[in-house]
A and B are shown apart, each in its own frame.
Chain A
Amino acid sequence: MITNNRLTEAQYNQNFSDIHPMFETKDAALVAANKCLFCYDAPCTKACPTSIDIPKFIKQITTENIKGSAHTIFQSNILGAGCGKVCPVEKLCEGSCVYNLMEETPVQIAKLQRYSTEKAIEENWKLFERKPSNGKKVAIVGAGPAGLSCAHVLAREGVEVTIYEKESKGGGLMTYGIAAYKVTPAFCEDEVNYIISIGGIDIKYNQTLGKDFSLDELQKNYDAVYLAFGIGTINKLNIPGEDLDGVEDAIHFIYNIRTNEFKNISVGDRVAVIGMGNTAIDAATQSKRLGAKEVAMVYRRTEAEKTCTQHELDIARLDGCATLWLAAPKEIIGDSGKVKALVCDVMQLGEPDASGRPTPIPTGETFTLEVDMIIKATGQKPYTALVEQIGLENNKGKIILQSDKASTNVKGVFAGGDAINGGKEAVDAVQAGKDGANAILNFIF
């Protein structure tokens, strides 16, 4: 049965509290910071898509120059606070920390990054000064990580930036598409406010491109346009029964969790989550944390090919989510219009496909899972219609950029983030925003 209000207030709060609590004392942060060797040409910095000078900001914690530390982080990544919470650090900075080569646990880079940046936001430190306005105007579509990052670089340089955002809050998927135990919407709001406090950034909310305004208008009224509208809903499974009650899209499911009280979110007794990326994990763990009795993650390849990180999979497993490998949804069976069971093909691995991963092939055997809710997390669809309509060169809806990695085929129109790459990490979008801003500055001056 799909129902809400399964748990007490205290249980909800416990299940959705911060999974990586902050250092409780300065001493604890200093112990962690002093572990850093202050590497030269540090592997952690190279592994960070935004190239944060990690040894420097950690050294600054040890000298108790926390303002300097926060500045070092924000200079490379203005969403450094949020990224410290949501980055898959085990495959980025912490994963390449040289301590791993000593068979030692890595420096707690993410936690240290949060130490400095959260203090900066909490105390509202003014770490950047905006140059005097130069009269240039840039429009940005989307107030997610790419749009905000682009806006901040431009604002610093004295450009007047207007961001058009389709939601009622900024932050993009940080606000609307991340598990609540990693980052809260309230934190995202603080982060957005901190970023725009530099001045020169006006966010217009509830404005959807193609509906409330057009690209033509932006091109007419601004010196340049940056498109950072991200990516859309989940790909369809294209199997019978997909329209039954109880089949949900992970993006919608998580969006609802982000915009409602936990007790108002309905979840089934037995939930199947299709997919094994980080979004699938967020859907599975949060189903469990909302009170689902059983959650099974269904994936057509094996654990070796999963797209989530090991760390994320461990969270799901510790939450008690089951994993079914080599299982591909074949049909959803309903009863009175509601989901009753999921039939899966048993798969085997074949030759590598275009992505280099082995192709799953049905063995002919099937099995049936008794479930009352199915959450699809099988990759997101680009806004193909929109991209086509505004005349941008694209690859199946993903905008194609020129060699500067920021310009589209339309003069004065730039783009970045998930709308180009089909969905990567927030930190990749932040870097895209910086690249976009630099290309725009070259264009308008």
Chain B
Amino acid sequence: MANISSNFLGIKSPNPFWLASAPPTDKKINVLRAYEAGWGGVVWKTLGSQVKNVSSRYSSVDYGGHRVMGFNNIELISDRPLDINLKEITEVVKLFPDRAMIVSLMADNNKKAWHELIKKCEDAGAMGFELNFGCPHGMTERGMGAAVGQDPEIAKMVVEWVMEKATIPVITKLTPNVHSVVPTGKACVEAGTNALSLINTIQSVTGVDLDTLVPNPYVAGKSVFGGYCGPAVKPIALKFLTTIAQDPTTSKVPISGIGGVSTWRDAVEFMLLGSSTVQVCTAAMKHGFRIVQDMCEGLNNWMDEKGFKTIDDFIGKSVNKITHWEDLDINYHHVANINQDKCIHCGLCYIACEDTSHQAINLQNENPYNIYTIKEDDCVGCNLCKLVCPVDNCITMDEKRVAPEYINWKMWQEKGLPLNDH
């Protein structure tokens, strides 16, 4: 059995799976249920000034018969009194001292407010802080949340205030509502943050009700942009994560990955791209806390199969596999092959290639099952047919190098090689 325990800046947890700062971590009862289910830690829902919420608060995007492929919310930070939150944090830490207890913070925009909040939370038993520089709705209008994360200078200033006071590890959570997370990430690292976490939610409109013509979520005939999360945002999160993991400054600090993690497979992908721990919210909100059990078992089994003894053995292993386009090997080529024994003759590969790609699939009309074969000479190896094929491993991409040696785009141009393949 592999060891899946985590040590994040000295904050230990039995597994690297934390619940992200969100409704599931707003109250003692929720957090106790999460710990009982087996979660490694929580980031307690953001504490700050007293706020008031609206109804409704959530909306989602469904796809192909599956609910909540994407999810958005317009909820604010914790709307419960600070002293109740602090009292419950103390009680929870006492009951589960082996779990990570990170507290998310978003104080008013002055040094004194931050210092007071930090002191109170440390006294309550917090093991670490996560600075909420990411919330894209409600708080931004008050100059907080994403309004801080979008401006590296402001972010730097706030982190400096925090670092003056905090005696426990500080994680800064970044907003994806920017063209690049690196400038803010860099500023925060330079200001002394001990770690980074990303991504927060993405500003979004999930849809419009076709009867009322009001977008979602509905609040008395109106809506607002909400923070988007869930499986739909994972690819965007992985991209932002990679840029932080690759930058020389930001890669110096550990990262807690967030954004659409639903399964152990998603978690491993985040970890391979540089996350030391991962945070989950939407999947738990959809299915309950029980999902952590398969996350632990799946991670463990995968590590055993791969021969990884601890999570540190594989964290970051895929970071340098993402390169610049101009460094890709132009002589690499592969072509599709359709396994006729597995083919169910649905024609999806054919129509995708014929209508939208390179007309590289041959159609032989039969009744009722047409026969589809690859025209190897016309196949550019784009993967589209393989992606749309409903049968596992029916279409495979077989390597057919153009030439044995590595050559990239820059070298190609320097050598004056022909550009037009057609």
A interface residue numbers (CB < 8 A to B): 30-31, 33-34, 37-44, 46-47, 62, 96, 98-99, 101-102
Q: Find out whether the CB atom of B344 lies under 8 angstroms from the CB atom of A98.
A: yes
CB of B346 closer than 8 Å to a CB of A? yes
Within 8 Å CB of A37, what residues of B?
Answer: 346, 348, 390
Within 8 Å CB of A46, what residues of B?
Answer: 367-368
Q: How far is the CB of A19 from chain B (nearest CB, A)?
A: 26
Contact with A along B361-387 (1 / 0, CB 8 A): 001010111100000000000000000
Q: How far is the CB of A47 from chain B (nearest CB, A)?
A: 5
Complex CA gap A99/B344 in Å reads 7
Q: Find out whether the CB atom of A43 lies under 8 angstroms from the CB atom of B350.
A: no
Complex CA gap A38/B346 in Å reads 8
Complex CA gap A33/B65 in Å reads 9
Partner of A42, one of B347, B367, B390, B391: B347
Q: How far is the CB of A103 from chain B (nearest CB, A)?
A: 10
Q: How far is the CB of B101 from chain A (nearest CB, A)?
A: 40
Within 8 Å CB of B346, what residues of A?
Answer: 37, 39-40, 42, 98
Q: How far is the CB of A411 from chain B (nearest CB, A)?
A: 34
Within 8 Å CB of A44, what residues of B?
Answer: 368
With both beta carbons as reference points, the residue of chain B lying nearest to A44 in the complex is identified as B368
CB of B64 closer than 8 Å to a CB of A? yes
A-B contact count (CB 8 A): 45
Within 8 Å CB of B29, what residues of A?
Answer: none
Known: A40-B347, A98-B346; 10 extra A-B contacts, CB below 8 A, are: A30-B65, A37-B390, A39-B346, A39-B348, A40-B351, A41-B363, A41-B365, A43-B369, A98-B369, A102-B391
Q: Find out whether the CB atom of A98 lies under 8 angstroms from the CB atom of B367.
A: no
Which 6 pairs between the two chains have the least Cβ-Cβ distance? A40-B347, A34-B65, A43-B368, A40-B351, A98-B344, A101-B344
A37-B348, A37-B390, A98-B344 known; A47 and B65 CB under 8 Å? no
Q: How far is the CB of B175 from chain A (nearest CB, A)?
A: 34
Q: How far is the CB of B61 from chain A (nearest CB, A)?
A: 15
Complex CA gap A148/B370 in Å reads 33
Within 8 Å CB of B351, what residues of A?
Answer: 40
Q: How far is the CB of A45 from chain B (nearest CB, A)?
A: 8
Q: How far is the CB of A126 from chain B (nearest CB, A)?
A: 22
Within 8 Å CB of B350, what residues of A?
Answer: 40
Within 8 Å CB of A40, what residues of B?
Answer: 346-348, 350-351
Within 8 Å CB of A101, what residues of B?
Answer: 344-345, 369
Within 8 Å CB of A33, what residues of B?
Answer: 65
Contact with A along B331-359 (1 / 0, CB 8 A): 00000000000001111101100000000
A–B Cβ pairs within 8 angstroms, 20 of them: A30-B65, A34-B64, A34-B65, A38-B348, A39-B345, A39-B346, A39-B348, A40-B350, A41-B347, A41-B363, A42-B346, A42-B347, A43-B345, A43-B368, A46-B368, A99-B344, A101-B344, A101-B369, A102-B344, A102-B391
Within 8 Å CB of B367, what residues of A?
Answer: 46
Q: How far is the CB of B63 from chain A (nearest CB, A)?
A: 10
Q: Find out whether the CB atom of A98 lies under 8 angstroms from the CB atom of B65.
A: no
Q: Find out whether the CB atom of A96 lies under 8 angstroms from the CB atom of B368.
A: yes
Complex CA gap A41/B347 in Å reads 7
With both beta carbons as reference points, the residue of chain A lying nearest to B355 in the complex is identified as A40
Complex CA gap A102/B13 in Å reads 44
With both beta carbons as reference points, the residue of chain A lying nearest to B63 in the complex is identified as A34
Within 8 Å CB of A39, what residues of B?
Answer: 345-348
Q: How far is the CB of A175 from chain B (nearest CB, A)?
A: 31
- Residue among B346, B351, B365, B367 facing the most chain A CB atoms (10 A cut-off): B346
A37-B390, A40-B350, A40-B351 known; A47 and B344 CB under 8 Å? no
Within 8 Å CB of A41, what residues of B?
Answer: 347, 363, 365, 370
Complex CA gap A102/B343 in Å reads 9
Within 8 Å CB of B365, what residues of A?
Answer: 41
Q: Find out whether the CB atom of B347 lies under 8 angstroms from the CB atom of A47.
A: no
Q: How far is the CB of B202 from chain A (nearest CB, A)?
A: 26
With both beta carbons as reference points, the residue of chain A lying nearest to B343 in the complex is identified as A101
Within 8 Å CB of A38, what residues of B?
Answer: 348
Q: How far is the CB of A427 from chain B (nearest CB, A)?
A: 15
Complex CA gap A37/B352 in Å reads 13
Partner of B65, one of A31, A42, A99: A31
Contact with A along B307-328 (1 / 0, CB 8 A): 0000000000000000000000
A37-B390, A43-B368 known; A62 and B65 CB under 8 Å? yes
Complex CA gap A99/B345 in Å reads 10
Within 8 A of A (CB), among B363-422: 363, 365, 367-370, 390-391
Q: How far is the CB of A128 from chain B (nearest CB, A)?
A: 25
Within 8 Å CB of A34, what residues of B?
Answer: 64-65
Complex CA gap A33/B42 in Å reads 40
Q: How far is the CB of B267 from chain A (nearest CB, A)?
A: 27
Q: How far is the CB of A48 from chain B (nearest CB, A)?
A: 10
Within 8 Å CB of B391, what residues of A?
Answer: 102
Within 8 Å CB of A98, what residues of B?
Answer: 344-346, 369
Complex CA gap A101/B365 in Å reads 18
Contact with A along B152-188 (1 / 0, CB 8 A): 0000000000000000000000000000000000000
Complex CA gap A39/B344 in Å reads 10
With both beta carbons as reference points, the residue of chain B lying nearest to A47 in the complex is identified as B368
Within 8 Å CB of A31, what residues of B?
Answer: 65
Within 8 Å CB of B345, what residues of A?
Answer: 39, 43, 98, 101
Complex CA gap A99/B347 in Å reads 13
Q: How far is the CB of B66 from chain A (nearest CB, A)?
A: 8
With both beta carbons as reference points, the residue of chain B lying nearest to A104 in the complex is identified as B344
Within 8 Å CB of B347, what residues of A?
Answer: 39-42
Q: How far is the CB of A40 from chain B (nearest CB, A)?
A: 3
With both beta carbons as reference points, the residue of chain A lying nearest to B391 in the complex is identified as A102
With both beta carbons as reference points, the residue of chain A lying nearest to B347 in the complex is identified as A40
Within 8 Å CB of A102, what residues of B?
Answer: 344, 391
Complex CA gap A30/B370 in Å reads 28
- Residue among A33, A40, A44 facing the most chain B CB atoms (10 A cut-off): A40
Complex CA gap A98/B365 in Å reads 16
Complex CA gap A43/B365 in Å reads 11
Complex CA gap A40/B369 in Å reads 11
Complex CA gap A98/B346 in Å reads 6
Complex CA gap A38/B64 in Å reads 12
Complex CA gap A279/B321 in Å reads 67
Within 8 Å CB of A62, what residues of B?
Answer: 64-65
Complex CA gap A37/B369 in Å reads 15
Within 8 Å CB of A30, what residues of B?
Answer: 65
Q: How far is the CB of A376 from chain B (nearest CB, A)?
A: 35
Within 8 Å CB of B348, what residues of A?
Answer: 37-40
With both beta carbons as reference points, the residue of chain B lying nearest to A38 in the complex is identified as B348
